[in-house]
Structure 1
Amino acid sequence: MSAAPPPRITRRALMLLGVQLGVVGVLGWRMRDLQVRQHEHYAMLADENRINLRLIPPARGTITDRAGVPLAINRRNYRVSLVREQAGDPPAILDRLGRIIPIDAETRERALREIATHSAFVPVVIAEHLTWEDVARISANAPVLPGVVAEVGLSRSYPLGRDTGHVVGYVGPVSESDLAKIEDPDPVLRIPRFQIGKTGVEQRMEDTLRGEAGTLRIEVSAAGRVMRELGRAEGTPGQDVALTLDEGLQSYAMRRMEGESAAAAVIDVTNGDIVALASAPGFDPNSFVFGIGVAEWNSLLEDEYRPLAAKTVAGAYPPGSTFKPVVALAALAAGTIAPGDRVHCAGFTQLGNRRFHCWKHGGHGSVDLRKSLSQSCDCYYYEVARRTGADAIAAMARRLGLGYRHDLPLPAVTAGLMPDRAWKAETRKESWTVGDSFNYGIGQGYTLASPLQLAVMAARVATGTEVAPRLVRAIGGVDLPFEPPKSLGLDPRHLEAVRNGMFAVSNEGTAYRSRIADPAMLMAGKTGTSQVRVITAAERARGVTKNEQLPWNRRDHALFIAFAPYDKPRYAIAQIVEHGGGGSAVAAPIARDILLYALCGGEPPLEAYPPEQRKSIGEQRARMPAAEAAPPAAGTRDRA
């Protein structure tokens, strides 16, 4: 029996074998690649607890004035931090560190509290704003300071200090109360000692200025020790914000109000730009960034001039006689008076058994609209308000920007109060009375307005348009859109009659001594004095006590509103001096000087003042605090 022939390997079998060998080879090569060449990468990915992500704080956006002069910038900040898992015994390390740089008991307690509440590998800032010499000493002693790291970061700085403190605000470390107010806090806010805006534009534009955090991937040991950096993704810096403020005018206004508890708001009537928003006295926001001392904090709180109050937007005051243009326009619009109609002023108006007095004891005699404004006759406005009624006056006031909370990126912007019949019925459960109308007519009683609102009112009277105040000019280098203000729809003849009366105030009447002499810059204004105390009948009988004889906090507020030039308005201003006495004597001269500075683009020539005042103006300038040199225009921000 013959043997079976050997099996034959067909071409098809060879092809299948080749494919199988190829697949096995590829799999083997891939396994080697994964196990040898990429072993380290995938081993770390498989062990996720050894990869840690840390946030890199973003550089905060700068804040500048309209011309790019820096108001809030970032500076390099040398600081020292401590990592608990590397330090071993944090209290002992802090004791050693305290022999190299000053660490007071409060700072030490705060640091230990933060060390205990954060993860062991999270650096906790111990001290900031160190000198290079401090950093050098810490580095030289590094062997005996385990866990201590000297580093450079960014810190907020305010070059103009107190001149812009109320507007720009300041930043401070995130607190638990800050986090509680935010529904879904950004993780960067949980970085120890991370700073956010606390007041002013810094607070209200926090999301714009903050930016987005970057990330740092690091390898850590099982104990949390940093082994090496694996990757870094830089964050997005915050956007720069340009305000409408004019740094020179803002600083001049603050210097001009030195020694007073006062406020001034200046608006460009052509577009609503707020070019000055000054509250005196100011405060230095840098003190809060660096950590304000107890003594300085207490002095700010106890100062009766209230340096922490943003009086321009948060202060609500009886507008006094600066409100009379509103009453006049309401009456003209309602048809209850005409410009030539006259009211007799005998020095008081009798209402039942009560007398409502005019500021001029003997009265003004027969008064028309122009004279009523020029001489600020109270009796004229008692009668006009009685005829016109509260509702019509309130409606005109709101039309002119009063009784309304203007949309600005500032906290605590007041709406003021323009009362009407419905308001009193709802809040006081009482009916409106004729006496209420009398008080309304002279800007007293329930009526309240801020200097900003009064400046808006003056701007609207000057232009007859719905001038809306704005504080932000550009974000991220892009100008914000602007729409020209619409007409108020008021009768031009009514507006002209009121403007003419305001011109008489500054050039013939109660503010004559504060007039502008330059014909190209003539001013129209309205003085105001608002009482903060009740003058009894007994006091009137024996003679009203003069303001200068009263304690400071019982004196009248002095107010003044104005616009200039009269024939082609460019700027409007509202000025208040708390407990300053008379508006014509105290507030009007300050407002006149600030307006002239705005119109001239700098310190005005003496020729702009009345000849008889030029010597005293020169002496006044010599007494004023020296202007600080303006910092250079903002460029690129420092980055750590």
Structure 2
Amino acid sequence: MRRSPVDTEKSARVVTRRGLLLGGAQLAMAGVLVGRMRFMQVDQADEYRTLADENRINLRLLPPARGLIFDRKGVLLAGNEQNYSIVMVREEAGDPEAVIERLEKLVWLDPENTANALEEMHRRSPFVPVTIAERVSWQDVSEVAINAPALPGVTPQMGLSRIYPLGSDFAHVIGYVGPVSDYDLSRIEDPDPLLQIPRFQIGKTGVETKLESHLRGEAGTKRIEVNAVGRVMRELDREEGVPGSNIQLTVNHALQNFAEARLAGESAAAVVLDPRNGDILAIASAPSFDPNKFVRGISVSDYNALLEDPYRPLANKTAQGTYPPGSTFKMVTALAALESGEIDTEETITCRGSIEIYNRRFHCWSRGGHGRVDLVKSLRESCDVYFYELAQRVGIERISEMARKLGLGMRYDVPLSGVAEGLIPTKDWKREVRGADWVVGDSLNAAIGQGFVLASPLQLAVMTSRIASGNAVLPRLVRSIDGVEQPVLSTEGLDIDPRNLAAVQQGMYEVVNGARGTGGGSRIVADGVRMAGKTGTSQVRNITAAERAAGVFRNEDLPWERRDHALFVSYAPHDAPEVAVSVVVEHGGGGSTAAAPIARDIVLAALYDGVPPLDAYPSSQRGTIRSRFDAMELREPQAPSEGRSRA
């Protein structure tokens, strides 16, 4: 059937309309695509270029060089050494266990370290590098580099690791560094990205941790190009980090070594201060340990040996340890009585060997008593009964006030771990802490440095410095940071009558140089360096009435842990003090026999800046002294190191 011209014309119009609609739709779609392409390729070109670069370019942090630590003469105490390590990125390795199996055929891997590394990999983000082995040889690095195609995700690296050239001498002062742990991260609210670097070292104890913010530095960055499987192709650019600050301490490395060597074989502590400005010249705790073992990874057996040693080598006894100061506290009681006007230097008290208060007998160390005693004699012969009488007149509050004025019962702001506050008791303290009222017997015990009173060797050195100088000196351990001198903390006067200070100073001089002084066996005979001091013996056990009746056991007849602590504080020269020293020998027995000889040797080593000359000692002792020095393991004096400066 033939279509009419009208129908044909209508059909043509319909087809033309549909074609126009279809063509328009196609043109619109093409326009959208073109617009989108322009938007992506022109308007958002930078964003997509960045995304593309992120697929082939990695940004990695570069650890900065840790700041160096020097002694007051510029000798290096903590430095950095090259350390080759092997790290792995789980994201790039694919199958870490399989890659490690291949790696083990090339270099030796410690099984325990490898297991820990695998565990760390699965605990951390897949893109975080994890150290598989460190302190590897250059040969091992070469083997890994040559076999790189078979070891995806594995990269040899060269970095810096901490080293302590003087070993155990400054272990308790400098401390040591170690890898960042989960515990470390948990204590930091906003951790530095540096802490995510594998095995990044931070301070764990001592100056290393207290001055971490100065020593750490700021991270650098490097951009590296990687291929499709994550293999590093090349380094594109690098921006080095900012090294940590150099720290110079006030300590003298040679004096520190002498003190450590002199304390060898004892559980003891010694602190040397300059009483003119508070500089800590030496601060030795014995026995010590090698901090390098902690940096490199101490073995279980070595660590257990340190923990199980009854002499507690890991404890810093100089600042952490607190002890009853014994008779070294008597200067505090004497000054409290003099300043309050309760006694003068000429008044005498009779000592018959004991005193009875409220049906309780308080004994003097001399069973027969000292007879009539004035202030100087009471210090020279360390008469307890004299100070029992002062305690009753003065009372604990004024004794405590004087103790704090002399620097006891304070936590000093020095960059050491666990600095102790000690304890200077009061009536309120006992009521709040012990739930009991203060009694007269408590005051008598406190007056001779027993009972509740506790002080650290650092505090005793400060007390001695203040008595020697008449100024409220504060201990200073940091001398400069990046060459910028740190201020002396205090040289204010003590607000104590100089005449009263002079009387106590005379008593301390008599202790060492008087005919019946308790420290006479440790006198110095060289002109111009005569020493003043005070012996102390603090009990660690109660002596029963039955034991007194039968005869008190000698210290050498008791187990070591039940023997008395031995103490001695001193300064020299007595007429123009340059050094103040405190020594505590745990369970050493008598202060005059155990602590005073050590303190004298350290005083002389400080004044002579080296091993003391024999003619500084009484002629009858020189043979013994020579043998002692010959047996001591002393280091040769170190030459100053050349360090960086940012000043």
- TM-score, normalising length from structure 2? 0.90
Q: Which moved more, 1:203-212 or 1:419-428?
A: 419-428
CA distance in 2, matches of 1:85, 1:185: 23
- What letter matches 1:533 in structure 2? R
Deviations 1:39-67, CA, capped at 9 Å, x for gaps: 99875325464353321111110111111
- What letter matches 2:550 in structure 1? R
Match of 2:590 among 576, 582, 594: 582
Instruction: Report what 1:624 is aligned to.
Output: 632
Asked if structure 1 preserves the Cα contact closer than 8 Å seen for 2:272 and 2:280, the reply is yes
Instruction: Report what 1:553 is aligned to.
Output: 561
- What letter matches 2:625 in structure 1? I
Match of 1:327 among 333, 338, 343: 333
Asked if structure 2 preserves the Cα contact closer than 8 Å seen for 1:85 and 1:225, the reply is no
Asked if structure 2 preserves the Cα contact closer than 8 Å seen for 1:263 and 1:577, the reply is yes
CA distance in 2, matches of 1:453, 1:276: 14
Q: Secondary structure at the match of 1:625?
A: coil
Pairwise CA distance, 1:420: 1.0
Alignment of 1:424-573 (within 5 A): 424-482=430-488, 485-508=491-514, 509-573=517-581
Instruction: Report what 2:158 is aligned to.
Output: 152
CA distance in 1, matches of 2:604, 2:351: 35
Instruction: Report what 1:169 is aligned to.
Output: 175
Deviations 1:204-239, CA, capped at 9 Å, x for gaps: 111110011112234456665545434322211110
Instruction: Report what 2:25 is aligned to.
Output: none
Pairwise CA distance, 1:412: 0.7
Instruction: Report what 2:617 is aligned to.
Output: 609
Q: Secondary structure at the match of 1:54?
A: strand
Pairwise CA distance, 1:426: 1.4
Instruction: Report what 1:376 is aligned to.
Output: 382
Instruction: Report what 1:45 is aligned to.
Output: 50
Pairwise CA distance, 1:336: 1.0
Q: Secondary structure at the match of 2:270?
A: strand
Match of 2:103 among 84, 97, 101: 97
Q: Secondary structure at the match of 1:312?
A: coil
Q: Which runs of 5+ in 1 are unaligned?
A: 1-30
CA distance in 2, matches of 1:629, 1:147: 47
Q: Secondary structure at the match of 2:318?
A: helix
- What letter matches 2:262 in structure 1? R
Alignment of 1:86-165 (within 5 A): 86-142=92-148, 144-165=150-171
Q: Secondary structure at the match of 1:153?
A: strand
Pairwise CA distance, 1:493: 0.5
CA distance in 2, matches of 1:636, 1:139: 33
Q: 1:632 to 1:556 in 2, by over 3 A?
A: same
Pairwise CA distance, 1:128: 1.2
CA distance in 2, matches of 1:397, 1:120: 58
Instruction: Report what 1:311 is aligned to.
Output: 317
Instruction: Report what 2:90 is aligned to.
Output: 84
- TM-score, normalising length from structure 1? 0.91
Q: Which runs of 5+ in 2 are unaligned?
A: 1-36
Match of 1:214 among 215, 220, 231: 220
CA distance in 1, matches of 2:235, 2:136: 26
Match of 2:184 among 175, 178, 196: 178
Instruction: Report what 2:362 is aligned to.
Output: 356
Asked if structure 2 preserves the Cα contact closer than 8 Å seen for 1:54 and 1:217, the reply is yes
- What letter matches 1:117 in structure 2? R
Pairwise CA distance, 1:386: 1.3
Asked if structure 2 preserves the Cα contact closer than 8 Å seen for 1:52 and 1:220, the reply is yes
Instruction: Report what 1:598 is aligned to.
Output: 606
Q: 1:134 to 1:636 in 2, by over 3 A?
A: farther
Whether 1:74 and 2:66 are equivalent positions in the alignment is no
CA distance in 2, matches of 1:45, 1:141: 31
Whether 1:284 and 2:302 are equivalent positions in the alignment is no
CA distance in 2, matches of 1:324, 1:336: 15
- Flag the structure with larger Rg: 2
Q: Secondary structure at the match of 2:178?
A: strand
Asked if structure 1 preserves the Cα contact closer than 8 Å seen for 2:565 and 2:587, the reply is yes
Asked if structure 2 preserves the Cα contact closer than 8 Å seen for 1:558 and 1:581, the reply is yes
CA distance in 2, matches of 1:552, 1:456: 29
Q: 1:313 to 1:521 in 2, by over 3 A?
A: same
Deviations 1:290-334, CA, capped at 9 Å, x for gaps: 000000000000000000000000001000000000110000001
Asked if structure 1 preserves the Cα contact closer than 8 Å seen for 2:476 and 2:488, the reply is no
Instruction: Report what 1:57 is aligned to.
Output: 63
Q: Which moved more, 1:610-619 or 1:77-86?
A: 77-86
CA distance in 2, matches of 1:122, 1:628: 45
Deviations 1:573-629, CA, capped at 9 Å, x for gaps: 110000000000010000000010000011111011111111110011111124256
CA distance in 2, matches of 1:517, 1:305: 34
Match of 1:338 among 323, 344, 351: 344
Q: Secondary structure at the match of 2:135?
A: strand
CA distance in 1, matches of 2:108, 2:371: 73
CA distance in 1, matches of 2:418, 2:116: 31
Match of 1:262 among 265, 268, 278: 268
Q: 1:151 to 1:220 in 2, by over 3 A?
A: closer
Q: Which moved more, 1:456-465 or 1:114-123?
A: 114-123
Instruction: Report what 2:353 is aligned to.
Output: 347
RMSD over aligned CA atoms reads 2.2
Q: 1:628 to 1:140 in 2, by over 3 A?
A: farther
